[in-house]
């Protein structure tokens, strides 16, 4: 459709030329604001809703800014015959991305890594001995990737497990911190993650004050580790309260 | 899986509580470490590391490739680990896949640093030949030949040794090229470039059994663990990566304590490993 000469075109070409990526953060640039206007130590508003999928034993939907995740929990079901006998339950986790989750189609990050990380973060919180010989399936789907995908998946999965009535010691809240230059930035978005020098993800059970999973990448000094961990623990504590209130809301709504 | 009787389990746990493990070690002592370099002639660099009955090989191969569009000033480094069925029958077929990915990811996290390349053991920008056009792609492959616990530490040591053994052919530009043309290069077969491996961290895995933690756990000890944390520490004493390997939750203060213990242990391990690598290189040149 050609626009009339002289008139302003109302459509844009799909590809606005080669994108330039100027560094979003320079050293000594203390007036820098984050792309979404948050403070360095401010998380995105979290939204949780349980019961997103009807056919699942339990499910939850989470939205943190642009990151949107849906998790369903199935089971406990009988473990496959091929598996060895086990007097504790098994947990089967899988994280996948929709093809439209990322800016470039079909370029989700490594799901294998995410699946095993999800498993490790949850196994310490679930009372596996309460469902011997059986398996619980946790399937997570990232609808839109907007940064800090894995922490959102983990928090959402623990909420879905609670919704399914799987016995747990506590909910698992997860938060990540990015290290940009000398600054620590909590709950990074996709753009910040692509520039990060290091990252730290911490998942914990807020009421028991126990860390179920912790990963670092990049070079960290001890004071930075202390600061980042404290930052994450505080954020997890608050996130845990949000998750708890979501469960309470769902429970009181079903009673009415 | 290790089948242990109740008595054996108590023996291991009791020994760890009394700081005398079943093989006579203390809680924070490594098994003797043996390094052999240049074991695979076809690779650009290779090393074999033995840690008790744990036996691993690491090989480094370099290929000329094109840098990715997003990071035109950096070469690519990939780490893969393969668990051979010779180590344990459970690794046959797809059985070893889970452990392989877990180890590969842990090594990538611990050795390659953050997305921007900060804290990486090898500087990826040193692999560039022509910016945006030609770079070296480094393929680091680990192979588990025999497994008796503490695979991650052994693999990291093997990779460090293999990289110090690696010589990358010197590349000269054949002719001046302009524009988008792919430049022609001459690969020298006489001159080799060596990596500066002093920045490559070592990985220390602390396994928690009961109320105590131990380094370099054997598979019997690993079967009794409640949780394990792998920490990679470089020569400067900075943490370059950390992964918790599942298991029960830990108090944050315990993790911080583990980090300081790992730093302390890594100092001795780095010195020991460096001298072993130097000795292996020397004996390779003699033969």
Residue A52 counted as domain residue: yes
Q: What is the pLDDT of residues A173-227, one digit of tens each?
A: 999 998 887 888 889 888 888 878 888 999 999 998 889 999 888 888 888 888 8
* CB–CB contact B249 A208 (8 Å): yes
Residue A133 in this model has a pLDDT that exceeds 60: yes
Handedness of CA A112, B125, B36, B244 (dihedral sign): negative
Residue A14 counted as domain residue: no
pTM confidence score: 0.83
Q: Which residues of B touch A211 (CB under 8 A)?
A: 244, 249-252, 255
Residue A25 counted as domain residue: no
CATH number of residue A141's parent domain: 3.30.230.70
- Give me the pLDDT at residue A194, please: 80
- Nearest by CB to A112, from B1, B101, B229: name it: B101
The alpha carbon of residue A30 is apart from the nearest alpha carbon of chain B, in Å, by: 20
Nearest to B47 by CA among B123, B137, B139, B141: B141
The alpha carbon of residue A242 is apart from the nearest alpha carbon of chain B, in Å, by: 21
- Give me the pLDDT at residue A62, please: 93
Mean pLDDT of A124-143: 90
Q: Which residues of A touch B260 (CB under 8 A)?
A: 222
Residue A27 counted as domain residue: no
For residue A144, give its domain range: 37-255
* Secondary structure letter of residue B183 according to DSSP: P
The alpha carbon of residue B235 is apart from the nearest alpha carbon of chain A, in Å, by: 12
Helix (H, G, I), strand (E, B) or coil at B24: coil
Residue A157 counted as domain residue: yes
- Give me the pLDDT at residue A69, please: 93
CA–CA separation, B190 vs A151, rounded Å?
50
Q: What number is the ipTM of this complex?
A: 0.81
Q: Are B212 and B224 in contact (CB under 8 A)?
A: no
Nearest to B83 by CA among B95, B100, B98: B100
The CA-to-CA distance between both ends of chain A, in Å, stands at: 56
Residue A10 in this model has a pLDDT that exceeds 90: no
How many domains, in total, are found in chain A? 1
Nearest to B209 by CA among B223, B192, B195: B223
Range with top average pLDDT, A178-187, B48-57, B73-82, B243-252? B48-57
Residue A28 counted as domain residue: no
CA–CA separation, A229 vs A202, rounded Å?
7
Residue A229 counted as domain residue: yes
Residue A6 counted as domain residue: no
**B244 Cβ under 8 Å from any chain A Cβ:** yes
Q: Which residues of B touch A179 (CB under 8 A)?
A: 114
Buried b (16+ CB within 10 A) or exposed e, B49-59: bbbbebbbbbb
Residue of B108, B252, B257 best to disrupt the A interface, most CBs of A under 10 A: B252
Concatenated DSSP letters for A63-86?
EETTEEEEEEEEEEEEPPTTSPP-
- Give me the pLDDT at residue B116, please: 60
Task: Give all domains of chain B, ordered by start, each with its CATH number.
Answer: 6-286 (3.30.230.70)
User: Beta strand pairing status for B239-247 and A210-220?
Assistant: antiparallel
At residue B115 the predicted structure's pLDDT band, cuts being 50, 70 and 90, is low
**B118 Cβ under 8 Å from any chain A Cβ:** yes
CA–CA separation, B268 vs A81, rounded Å?
47
The alpha carbon of residue B85 is apart from the nearest alpha carbon of chain A, in Å, by: 19
């Amino acid at each position: 459709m050609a626009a009339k000469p002289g008139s302003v075109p109302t459509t844009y070409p799909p590809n606005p030329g080669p994108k330039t990526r100027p560094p979003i953060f320079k050293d000594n640039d203390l007036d820098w604001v984050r792309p979404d206007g948050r403070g360095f130590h401010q998380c995105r508003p979290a939204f949780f809703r349980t019961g997103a999928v009807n056919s699942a034993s339990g499910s939850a939907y989470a939205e943190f800014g642009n990151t949107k995740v849906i998790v369903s929990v199935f089971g406990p079901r009988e473990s496959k015959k091929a598996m060895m006998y086990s007097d504790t339950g098994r947990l089967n986790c899988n994280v996948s991305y929709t093809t439209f989750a990322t800016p470039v189609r079909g370029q989700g990050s490594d799901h294998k890594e995410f699946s095993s990380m999800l498993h490790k973060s949850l196994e310490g919180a679930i009372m596996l001995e309460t469902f011997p010989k059986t398996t619980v399936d946790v399937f997570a789907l990232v609808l839109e990737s907007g940064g800090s995908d894995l922490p959102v998946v983990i928090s959402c999965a623990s909420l879905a497990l609670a919704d399914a009535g799987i016995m747990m010691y506590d909910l698992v809240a997860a938060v990540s911190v990015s290290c940009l230059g000398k600054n620590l930035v909590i709950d990074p978005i996709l753009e910040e993650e692509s520039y990060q020098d290091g990252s730290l993800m911490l998942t914990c059970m807020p009421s028991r004050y126990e860390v179920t999973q912790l990963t670092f990448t990049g070079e960290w000094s001890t004071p930075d580790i202390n600061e980042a961990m404290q930052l994450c623990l505080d954020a997890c504590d608050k996130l845990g309260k949000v998750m708890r209130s979501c469960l309470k809301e769902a429970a009181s709504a079903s009673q009415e | 899986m290790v089948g242990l009787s109740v008595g054996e389990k108590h023996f291991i746990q009791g020994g760890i509580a009394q700081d005398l493990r079943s093989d006579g070690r203390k809680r924070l002592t490594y098994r003797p470490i043996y390094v052999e370099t240049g074991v695979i002639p076809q690779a650009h660099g290779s090393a074999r590391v033995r840690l008790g009955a744990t036996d691993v090989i690491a090989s480094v191969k370099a290929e000329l490739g094109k840098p990715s569009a997003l990071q035109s000033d950096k070469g690519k480094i990939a780490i893969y680990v393969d668990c051979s069925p010779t180590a344990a029958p459970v690794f046959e077929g797809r059985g070893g896949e889970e452990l392989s990915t877990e180890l590969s990811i842990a090594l990538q996290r611990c050795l390659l640093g953050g997305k921007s390349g900060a804290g990486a053991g090898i500087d990826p920008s040193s692999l560039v030949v022509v910016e945006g056009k030609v770079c070296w792609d480094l393929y680091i492959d680990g192979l588990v030949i025999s497994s008796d616990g503490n695979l991650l530490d052994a693999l990291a040591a093997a990779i460090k040794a293999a990289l110090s053994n690696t010589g990358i052919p010197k590349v000269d530009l054949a002719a001046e090229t302009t524009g988008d043309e792919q430049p022609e290069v001459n690969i020298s077969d006489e001159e080799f470039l060596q990596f500066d491996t002093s920045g490559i961290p070592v990985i220390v895995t602390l396994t928690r059994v009961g109320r105590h933690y131990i380094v370099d756990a054997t598979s019997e000890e690993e079967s009794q663990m409640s949780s394990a944390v792998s920490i990679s520490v470089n020569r400067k004493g900075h943490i370059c990566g950390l992964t918790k390997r599942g298991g029960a939750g830990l108090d944050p203060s315990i993790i911080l304590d583990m980090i300081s213990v790992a730093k302390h242990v890594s100092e001795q391990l780095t010195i020991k490993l460096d001298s072993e690598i130097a000795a292996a290189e020397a004996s390779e040149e003699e033969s």
